[in-house]
Structure 1
Amino acid sequence: MTEDVITRKVGSVGRITLNRPKALNALNQDMVTAMVEALKAWREDDSVKAVVVDGAGEKGFCAGGDIRMLAESGQAGDDRAWTFWRDEYQLNTLIAEYPKPYVALIDGITMGGGVGVSIHGEFRVAGDRTMFAMPETGIGFHPDVGGAYFLPRLMGELGVWMGLTGARLKTADCIAAGVATHYVPTNSHPALIEALETETLDNDGEKVDAILERFAGDPGQSDLGMVQPLIDAAFEGDDLTVILNRLETADDAWSKAVLKILSGKSPTAVKVTLAALRKGADLSLQDVMVQDLRVSSRFLKEGSDFYEGVRAVIIDKDNAPNWSEPISDAEVAAYFEPLDADKEMTFLE
């Protein structure tokens, strides 16, 4: 048992509260294990009609995973990182395939691992504080947890822009992009949770959807529509050099700003991420999870950018990573090669 996540049944709802507010509810191994155990138990429990997930505190739904542990595991050469990723990706897949309505209240920072335990569920409810992003290239890593599945399926090249640059979506943007299904004002979330816990629900999601609509508000206007043509023009294709050249030659402030952002990311991570997103567009979610485990494992063994990113952002916090030189196409391809048979991705029954 762990106090870092609180699981309980209230009425006909299985409730999960991520409970590491000082760490912005970032996932650790115990939290992943507890969520898997609860979801598996409730899947077979006819008295549970829906699952509702939220985060403790006011700042974050879930800001990611235990990055420091992953880096330490890689440097020590042990299996902690591999086990965490396998279990986390099993959790993500369990959520995607869950037979009952799954409601994630993504109010506050929702990044990395937090995206993984929300985006694959049926309902993603944004609040006023929602900040949604996949910022992994900034630490020399890739948008895992199924990022290569959902990002390429967003409108146009929006997901590629997000995955490469770590762009942050606020509440209205989340609705416009489709990463959130509903907007409910933050101050209405307690009443929404109470309604879900006390009203009669069914397993097909219609009653849940009706309750969410009852509490839904107007998130306001998103700016995505204005920049979408620029995103689509810049990020088309699978050649990073061409994308960078387009941004460099475009004579507008947005392109200049995006080029500056991209230049601060790990060149290796950006190149591998672009390849992962293009491959993921044609893969099933399970196949993306297989790919994710391969690519994540390789980031621990190929080069030093992940360790340098963790040093710069998490440990020393100087935000001045010294990235390695860009890698070749052949080196990128090696990230996607199968792992040893006993290290390949497996899925829960």
Structure 2
Amino acid sequence: MVALSSNSDTDKVLFEEIGCVRTIILNRPKQLNALSSAMISQLLELFLACEKDSNAKLVILKSTGRAFCAGGDVAAIARDVRQGNWKLGAQVFRKKFTVCYAVATYSKPQVSILNGIVFGGGAGLSIHGRFRVATEKSVFAMPETALGLFPDVGASYFLSRLPGFFGEYLGLTGSLLDGTEMLACGLATHFVPSERLSSLEEALHNINSSDPTIISAIITEFSQVPKLKEKSPYNHLKIIDRCFSRRTIEEIMVALETEAANNKDDWISSAIQSLKKASPTSLRISLRSIRAGRLQGIGTCLIREFRMACHVLKGEFSKDFVEGCRAILLDKDRKPKWEPSKLELVTDDMVNHYFSKLNDEDWKDLQLPGRPSLPYAIAKL
């Protein structure tokens, strides 16, 4: 195992070659492997290098510590925005979305080992790939609406393709899923107990094939199909569909309140509280984004999400992103003062603005690179 260089900043991503397998390792455990700008650049470099390496048949993505990846380093981006440098933060999003597109259109199979926290950007690095291995330690969430942001990294693509309206539920509430729930809804392709991961990796190192059928069969040898907890929201998909299929956030909340009056399930009241605490602007743009993603390809989703991210960082209609980072990540008082403060104050014209091209001659939309034919792209969601 080697770092890309001896520079202390670049040892946050490690790289390993064993036979025909290339392993990329996120190595920022104290920060739960949150992605810095330098790490994102290194990841893109490594993914593209492995793709060009004729000796590489399989790429494994994993991490050190108790998190796979807790997302992007949004606190650093918020600091740039507060200092008047929104374009610096936007360039980080540009690189991050480009990596997500590379993963989604990768010409070689990728196995992501999700043994720990998988939030935000961590999902973008893995869910778009061919194989996603969850464990009993996996915890998935897209918690962006609580930060004044929205589910990005192509989440409008993969959330909208989950069963029913489960993606709207996850994206709007930021609710946590365990590894069993990830497998059940399709975010994970396999569930392997963490004690068997080293044996799984050893078996993968011994193959000399890019055939996804062979790779899947090897992972399956170490896999289980664990039983969902009785109170898992995924066991109540009919209720979720009834509520989260509604046209507006207000209608979703009314439907949830009605269900809460008839059902004393904790997950319903938790969903209501999450929606009430989230940024009203974030809720509105997130719902529209996920609904748009149902009819769009991954590239179109990323280009649209990049526009949205730029508008969020510019803060023309709302500075909720900076306020959310302050309340949740910096001061940690968990009492953000959203502005606009209520859903009814977030107009359709304001929402439309987040989906429009930036009125800035010096700024370009996300321009995704041309990619080869895609035998493994976005398998089976």
Could you tell me which residue of structure 2 aligns to residue 306 of structure 1? 321
1:301 Cα deviation from its structure 2 partner? 2.0
User: Quick one: distance in 2 between partners of 1:238 and 1:114?
Assistant: 29
User: Quick one: distance in 2 between partners of 1:256 and 1:62?
Assistant: 28
1:347 Cα deviation from its structure 2 partner? 1.4
User: Quick one: distance in 2 between partners of 1:113 and 1:273?
Assistant: 16
Aligned length: 347
Within-5 A mapping of 1:131-210? 131-197=139-205, 199-210=206-217
Structure 1 stretch 219-228 or stretch 63-72: which is displaced more?
219-228
User: Quick one: distance in 2 between partners of 1:77 and 1:285?
Assistant: 31
- For residue 120 of structure 2, the aligned residue among 112, 122, 136 is 112
Could you tell me which residue of structure 2 aligns to residue 91 of structure 1? 99
Structure 1 stretch 81-90 or stretch 257-266: which is displaced more?
257-266
2:54 is the counterpart of 1:70: no
User: Quick one: distance in 2 between partners of 1:14 and 1:22?
Assistant: 24
2:229 is the counterpart of 1:218: no
Within-5 A mapping of 1:117-136? 117-136=125-144
User: Quick one: distance in 1 between partners of 2:269 and 2:141?
Assistant: 21
1:122 Cα deviation from its structure 2 partner? 0.2
- Provide TM-score, normalisation by structure 1: 0.96
- For residue 364 of structure 2, the aligned residue among 329, 339, 343 is 343
1:348 Cα deviation from its structure 2 partner? 2.7
Could you tell me which residue of structure 2 aligns to residue 263 of structure 1? 276
Could you tell me which residue of structure 1 aligns to residue 253 of structure 2? 244
Could you tell me which residue of structure 2 aligns to residue 330 of structure 1? 349
User: Quick one: distance in 2 between partners of 1:138 and 1:287?
Assistant: 25
- For residue 16 of structure 2, the aligned residue among 8, 28, 43 is 8
User: Quick one: distance in 1 between partners of 2:70 and 2:50?
Assistant: 25
| Deviation by residue 1:20-64 (Cα, 9 ceiling, x = unmatched) | 00000011111111111111111111110000010101x200001
Could you tell me which residue of structure 1 aligns to residue 373 of structure 2? none
Paired residue secondary structure (1:332): helix
User: Which AA in structure 2 matches 1:70?
Assistant: I
The answer to whether the 8 Å contact 1:103/1:125 transfers is yes
Paired-residue identity, %: 35
Structure 1 stretch 311-320 or stretch 69-78: which is displaced more?
69-78
The answer to whether the 8 Å contact 1:238/1:278 transfers is no
User: Which AA in structure 2 matches 1:236?
Assistant: S
User: Quick one: distance in 1 between partners of 2:235 and 2:224?
Assistant: 22
- For residue 253 of structure 1, the aligned residue among 251, 260, 264 is 264
User: Quick one: distance in 1 between partners of 2:213 and 2:79?
Assistant: 45
Could you tell me which residue of structure 2 aligns to residue 49 of structure 1? 57
Could you tell me which residue of structure 1 aligns to residue 296 of structure 2? 283
The answer to whether the 8 Å contact 1:201/1:207 transfers is no
The answer to whether the 8 Å contact 1:238/1:275 transfers is no
User: Which AA in structure 2 matches 1:285?
Assistant: I
1:196 Cα deviation from its structure 2 partner? 1.1
User: Quick one: distance in 1 between partners of 2:47 and 2:348?
Assistant: 40
1:256 Cα deviation from its structure 2 partner? 3.2
Paired residue secondary structure (1:217): coil
Paired residue secondary structure (2:160): helix
User: Which AA in structure 2 matches 1:220?
Assistant: K
1:203 Cα deviation from its structure 2 partner? 1.8
User: Which AA in structure 2 matches 1:273?
Assistant: S
The answer to whether the 8 Å contact 1:176/1:224 transfers is no
- For residue 25 of structure 2, the aligned residue among 17, 26, 47 is 17
Could you tell me which residue of structure 2 aligns to residue 318 of structure 1? 333
| Deviation by residue 1:124-168 (Cα, 9 ceiling, x = unmatched) | 000110001100001111000001111011001100000000011
User: Quick one: distance in 2 between partners of 1:121 and 1:225?
Assistant: 23
User: Quick one: distance in 2 between partners of 1:291 and 1:220?
Assistant: 37
User: Quick one: distance in 2 between partners of 1:193 and 1:77?
Assistant: 45
1:75 Cα deviation from its structure 2 partner? 2.0
Structure 1 stretch 339-348 or stretch 321-330: which is displaced more?
339-348
The answer to whether the 8 Å contact 1:131/1:168 transfers is yes
1:225 Cα deviation from its structure 2 partner? 4.2
User: Quick one: distance in 1 between partners of 2:88 and 2:212?
Assistant: 37
- Provide TM-score, normalisation by structure 2: 0.88
User: Quick one: distance in 1 between partners of 2:240 and 2:121?
Assistant: 25
User: Quick one: distance in 2 between partners of 1:137 and 1:114?
Assistant: 16
1:248 Cα deviation from its structure 2 partner? 2.2
User: Which AA in structure 2 matches 1:272?
Assistant: I
Paired residue secondary structure (2:126): coil
1:308 Cα deviation from its structure 2 partner? 0.9
The answer to whether the 8 Å contact 2:69/2:117 transfers is yes
Q: CA RMSD in A?
A: 1.3
